Structure 1
Amino acid sequence: MSAKLAPIILFIYNRPLHTRNTLEALAKNEHAKQSDLFVFADGAKPKATPGELQKVTETRAVIGEKQWCKKVELIAREKNMNLEDNVIDGITEIISKYGRAIILEDDLITSPYFLKYCNEALEVYADDKRVFSINGFMHNMDSYTEPDTFLCPLATSSWGWATWADRWSKLEINPEQINIIADNPFLTNRFNFAGVDYSHMLKNMNTWDIRWYYTAFINNALGLFPTRSLIKNIGFDNSGTHVGNENLNQELYLSPIPVVQQVSINMTYYANLLNYFAPVPRPPVIKRIGLRLKKILLNR
């Protein structure tokens, strides 16, 4: 691996077009030509149709189309591990060798400065053990002031991120305190970010990212975020394992984001993020009736 540059880990499965788009963007990154790329390709499911098998084959073939990075290594799984196990095993294998890593999935378009941001932040925050994750995605909140990055108790994001081996080693594969969080309304409220119901995932922990979020939560960890997004998710087309909101307002930032070390939570950005997620409170019933009557009268 090139000195001081973290290896990149990419997880793929059966989406050749998404994978190609992700790699095309990655190859345009500053530092891409000096970075090592490890691609973990999950195997086809046991009852896969011929068409599904073809998609898996086509997706793997994309990796050999170009020299996307300095070094490209394909780790092709013989059997289907499912996304969760493939991700956990892949990250653990690479990060244990190199001490840090940058992680992507096959539906993430990166800004040309995503790798630069991650590598700089991994250096800057290497000794700050409170910080568990360097995150590349940010919602388009349209409320930017200096600095360009901020620390936040919402420590993790699965859309383009980086971390260190000592933080990843704390990953709770089989969390033991799920019931305590789920049964205590105060802990549940804290586990849920601004009303977003993360706690329901505790009852069926079949994804790697809820385990990583849980790990950061019980360690009272922080995450670093850019104020503008260096990641755009193109997977909201029902092609992936986990679907989402295709109407999500995303905007990819195409300029460098300087990383200046923060020592405390930026309350301005933290509040903005909470407000972005929080549902708009409904007015009391009597007030709603009054507003409705006023609207009727004005339209007469």
Structure 2
Amino acid sequence: MERKIIIGVFCYSRANKLKRCISSLLKNPECSNMDIVFFSDGYKGEADKPGVLETRDHINTITGFRNVIKHFRDRNFSTGPNFQDGLKFLCDNYDEFIIVEDDLIVSANYIKFLMDGLNFYRNKQTVFCLTAYVYPINVSHYSYDTIIYKRFCSYGWAGWSDRFTNVIWDPKELQGMIDHSPGFIYRLNEEGYDLGRMIKKQLSGKISTWDVQLQVHVSENYLKVVYPVLSKVNNIGFDEESTNTFGVDFLKTPLDSGVNRTFKYCDDDLIINDLQRQIKKPFGLKALIIRQIVNRFIKATRKIKKAIKQ
């Protein structure tokens, strides 16, 4: 029986970035036979209105896919709720999905890598999802095209709808886990010292996100995420237009040329400690402290420049 799969795109007001994203996506030959759905969030205020409308005008011109489905929000959901609602639509109507956000540039084998991976790991219930992104790593003595890791990565990924049934989104339940589950923050921080801080910022309303909730699910259920050895996606979202990214662009990584169309997927129980350490390095305490210091300097410099102009 044919499984229903779709590409889901989440966007807001960055029309130029979305154009670059879709242009790169259309270099994947599979797109002409696939449906795509856009989850376009509503504008927060009048300042964002032109960008949102420009983004939707561009979506209305997009061709090259089998069908283009549009979810234009009539109000501002914010990043987290927009994604949660979109994910519910995907899970209710499709067996599998591939996710793209508007600040991503993908390789010409992005779709092929994820679709083949969905087929390979479909019956491996400990595998939560696949990502097409990886930080620069050394894999000179490794014979596979994938790595098994334990941290969710939102920079271009794919999953199966039946894996998301028990994800906890409710803030009260998440706060209860922090308050009453022994070692909860410790377990979360095992895959990066930013995660415990991120879930607290989410629950306090300082940020509106969705990926940390998925990491909670991965962490608490001892699940796995499949990474590539060479990234099929690059993030172009580190600038003032972005909602949850700012400052030092630590996500730069070599992008796959897109020529390779066949991949060697490793078993889901293959754990290589050296590769685990390499993937985790950008989220180690030292790396995070350095990044925080540099980001504070950037913010201060921008404030000074703005004050001078005024």
TM over 0.5: yes
- Pick closer, same or farther for the CA change 1:193–1:254 going to 2, 3 Å: farther
Structure 1 residue 5, shift from structure 2 partner: 6.3
1:272 matched to which residue of 2?
A: 278
- Pick closer, same or farther for the CA change 1:265–1:199 going to 2, 3 Å: farther
Q: CA RMSD in A?
A: 2.2
1:286 matched to which residue of 2?
A: none
Structure 1 residue 260, shift from structure 2 partner: 2.2
Cα distance in structure 2, aligned partners of 1:203 and 1:237: 24
User: Which one of the candidate residues 201, 205, 219 is aligned to 1:204?
Assistant: 201
- The alignment partner of 1:31 has SS state of helix
Partner AA of 1:217 in structure 2: S
Cα distance in structure 2, aligned partners of 1:177 and 1:79: 31
1:59 matched to which residue of 2?
A: 55
Output aligned runs, 1:63-102, within 5 Å.
Answer: 63-102=59-98
2:255 matched to which residue of 1?
A: 252
Cα distance in structure 2, aligned partners of 1:242 and 1:130: 29
Deviates more, 1:260-269 or 1:227-236: 260-269
Contact persistence 1:23–1:68 (CA under 8 A) = no
Partner AA of 2:51 in structure 1: K
Quick check: which has more Rg, 1 or 2?
Answer: 1
1:43 matched to which residue of 2?
A: 42
1:107 aligns with 2:103: yes
Structure 1 residue 52, shift from structure 2 partner: 2.1
Deviations 1:35-80 (A, max 9, x none): 11000111111xx12x421111100111122314221111111111
- The alignment partner of 2:194 has SS state of coil
Cα distance in structure 2, aligned partners of 1:202 and 1:277: 15
Structure 2 unaligned regions, length at least 5: 203-207, 288-310
Identical residues among aligned pairs (%):
25
1:118 matched to which residue of 2?
A: 114
Cα distance in structure 2, aligned partners of 1:74 and 1:195: 35
1:178 matched to which residue of 2?
A: 178
TM-score, normalised to structure 2's length? Answer: 0.82
Structure 1 residue 269, shift from structure 2 partner: 1.7
Structure 1 unaligned regions, length at least 5: 282-300
2:230 matched to which residue of 1?
A: 228
Cα distance in structure 1, aligned partners of 2:18 and 2:34: 18
Cα distance in structure 2, aligned partners of 1:220 and 1:28: 36
Deviations 1:158-214 (A, max 9, x none): 111111111111211122412246x74xx5343214553211122232421111110
Cα distance in structure 1, aligned partners of 2:121 and 2:250: 34
Contact persistence 2:134–2:279 (CA under 8 A) = no
Cα distance in structure 2, aligned partners of 1:131 and 1:229: 19
TM-score, normalised to structure 1's length? Answer: 0.84
- The alignment partner of 2:48 has SS state of helix
1:17 matched to which residue of 2?
A: 16
Contact persistence 2:6–2:97 (CA under 8 A) = yes
Partner AA of 2:5 in structure 1: A
Partner AA of 1:42 in structure 2: D
Contact persistence 2:11–2:102 (CA under 8 A) = yes
Task: Provide runs of 4+ in structure 1 moved above 3 Å.
Answer: 2-5, 187-190, 274-281
2:134 matched to which residue of 1?
A: 138
Cα distance in structure 1, aligned partners of 2:282 and 2:12: 32
Contact persistence 1:121–1:259 (CA under 8 A) = no
